Amino acid sequence: MAVTMMSQDLEAGFSFAQPQEACAISELRRSDQPEVIEFLSARPLHTVFMTGLIRDNGMLSPQNRGSFYGSRNRLGQLEGIALIGHATMVEAHTENSLVSLARVARNCQNAHLIRGEEQSVDTFWKYYADAGREPRQICKELLFELTEVQNPGENVPDLRPATADDLEKVVAVNSSMAFEEGGTSPLQRDPSGFRNRTARRIEKQRVWVWIQDNRLIFKADVVSETPEVTYLEGVHVHREERGKGYGSGCLRKLCAHLLTRSRSLCLAVNHQNKRAVDFYSKAGFEFKSAYETIYLR
């Protein structure tokens, strides 16, 4: 398991009193994968990260950096699924399942952040942190979706999938962006692991770059990809090259390509980053939901 749990018996996390019937929680197995994929497919825009991990790695893999847990009603039907680990995410169709999964998640010792729709995360946090925990940082985010590219353009820079030769440039930019957003550097927390994960993403041709005169002008990461939705992250334009149309040109070209493989694209933007919000809005992305990321101490 990628998740490190406290030594106490997890069953202790399920015995709390609830106003309604308690849910049965268990770690999900390989045999559960078809049922899990079907459950997550009900809301593909909001479950693309978890679905993408399962499609890439399967239900049980160190690459998931966590373990999948399911919440079932007394009929044995799934009502909620959570990835509990470094990045904790949950998709719950009932409040009982959300609460029960939160109680399990608080036993995880290696959690770095909790992310999801704002209302769900607020409820999750209420039961996750009732032992008096305080978040290190809370970021409000806006989830945007794109289904069609207007005027993809022809005369755009030489955008291409990154190669192993580009690894250090990509690592440096991604580390800087992570520090700006979350306040910690993955190069300090886990340098070898961070490089290995970046290299693996490059090997899968999910990092796109435009490099000119040995400078990384544009970069974007395809974090998760399914036939329904592709999730983008880490869109970056070199500071000295902003305002010249390079970012919008590269983004349009990349999105047009990715939309030949998925029905839509999505990404999350810090709500305080007005420049980024305007940038994606002009590119045709539409606001879909308020999100929240809680960074843990």
Q: Say which DSSP state 271 is in.
A: T
Count how many domains the chain has: 2
Domain boundary among 67, 102, 133: 133
Asked if 119 and 216 sit in the same domain, the reply is no
The reply to whether 208 and 97 lie within a common domain is: no
Tell me the percentage of the chain whose pLDDT exceeds 90. Answer: 80
Mean pLDDT of the 30-50 span: 98
- State the pairing for strand pair 286-295/215-225: unpaired
- The answer to whether residues 52 and 171 belong to one domain is no
Same domain assignment for residues 59 and 94? yes
Kindly state the percentage of the chain with pLDDT values over 70.
91
Residues 157 and 192 in one domain: yes
Quote the mean pLDDT of the chain.
90
The answer to whether residue 130 scores a pLDDT higher than 80 is no
Q: Which phi-psi region, left, alpha or beta, contains residue 213 (left: φ > 0; alpha: ψ -120 to 50)?
A: left
Within a domain: 88: yes
Return the pLDDT at 16: 34
- Quick one: 207 and 129 in the same domain? no
Q: What does the pLDDT read at residue 51?
A: 98
**Does residue 173 have a pLDDT over 90?**
yes
Q: What is the pLDDT of residue 227?
A: 97
* Both tokens assigned to 215: 């400078």
pLDDT tens across 55-71, in order? Answer: 999 999 999 999 999 99
Among residues 133, 167, 185, the one where a domain terminates is 133
240 shares its domain with 160 = yes
List the beta strands (DSSP E) in 226-277: 229-237, 264-270
Domain for residue 3, yes or no? no
Is the Cβ–Cβ distance between 11 and 103 less than 8 Å?
no
The pLDDT assigned to 181 comes to 86
Name residues whose C-beta falls within 8 Å of residue 5's C-beta, 6 or more positions apart in sequence.
107, 108, 109
User: What are 187-221's pLDDT values in tens digits?
Assistant: 888 999 999 999 999 999 999 999 999 999 999 99
> Per-residue pLDDT for 120 more than 70?
yes
263 falls within a domain: yes
Q: Can you give the residue range of the structural domain that contains 86?
A: 10-133
In this structure, the answer to whether residues 185 and 287 fall within a common structural domain is yes
Is residue 155, in this structure, part of any structural domain at all?
yes
pTM score: 0.88
Tell me, yes or no, whether 179 and 42 share the same domain. Answer: no
Q: Is residue 258 included in any domain, yes or no?
A: yes
**pLDDT of 183:** 86
What's the CA gap between 153 and 143, in Å, rounded? 25
Domain-located, residue 18 = yes
Which pLDDT score, from 0 to 100, does residue 154 have?
58
Q: Is residue 296 part of a domain?
A: no
Residue 2 has pLDDT above 70, yes or no: no
Residue 190 and residue 57 in one domain: no
Burial of 132 (0-12, 13-18, 19+ CB in 10 A): exposed
Is residue 245 very low, low, confident or very high in pLDDT (cuts 50, 70, 90)?
confident
Residues 105 and 82 in one domain: yes
pLDDT at 125: 96
| Average pLDDT of span 224-250 | 93
CATH number, domain with residue 28: 3.40.630.30
Mean pLDDT of 165-175: 96
Is the pLDDT at 155 greater than 80? The verdict is no
Give 23 or 278, the one with higher predicted confidence: 278
Mean pLDDT of 235-250: 91
- Asked if 58 and 162 sit in the same domain, the reply is no
Q: Which of 102, 133, 164 is the last residue of a domain?
A: 133
- Please tell me the predicted confidence (pLDDT) of residue 151: 77
